[in-house]
Amino acid sequence: MATKVRDIMTGSPTSVSPELDIVTVARAMRDEDIGAVLVAEGDDLLGLVTDRDLVIRGLAAGGDPAQARIGGLASSVTATIGPDDSLDKAAQLMRERSVRRLPVLEDGRPIGIVSIGDLAGERDAVAGLAELSAARTTF
């Protein structure tokens, strides 16, 4: 059974520039079959955008999606985790911060993302995942 974040995280996360338009990012997410991207400049993590963000904050806001910049949709990253941290710590952080995804940083650089689905798939007995899944999230 996996015990560390690195064992279950999605590695090599897709990172995009905050200057990209939301249509380009949406197409990249479709083509890569992913539901979230990190927004970064170089190794500096600025935020995270999900497919839901694209719809709720992007398309539903009106305007021209080809002109809207992804940096304006990004949720602030309220918590990160390290690859050698425990799965229990990841679940605790998700529960405390009411988030469904945690960027995984190593030496200050994003190297992965761990999601509530990753945790549930690995350890469905982790306390609080049901409550977390129903909680209002920030990203």
Domain range list for the chain: 5-134
pLDDT of residue 131: 58
- Averaged pLDDT, 121-127: 59
pLDDT at 126 over 50: no
DSSP state of 96: H
What does pLDDT average to over the chain? Answer: 89
Q: How many contiguous H segments (helices) and E segments (strands) does the chain have?
A: 6, 6
How much is the average pLDDT of 22-27? 95
Amino acid identity of residue 63, one-letter, is G
42 pLDDT band, cuts 50/70/90, is confident
Instruction: Tell me yes or no: is domain 5-134 CATH 1.25.40.10.
Output: no
pTM for this structure?
0.82
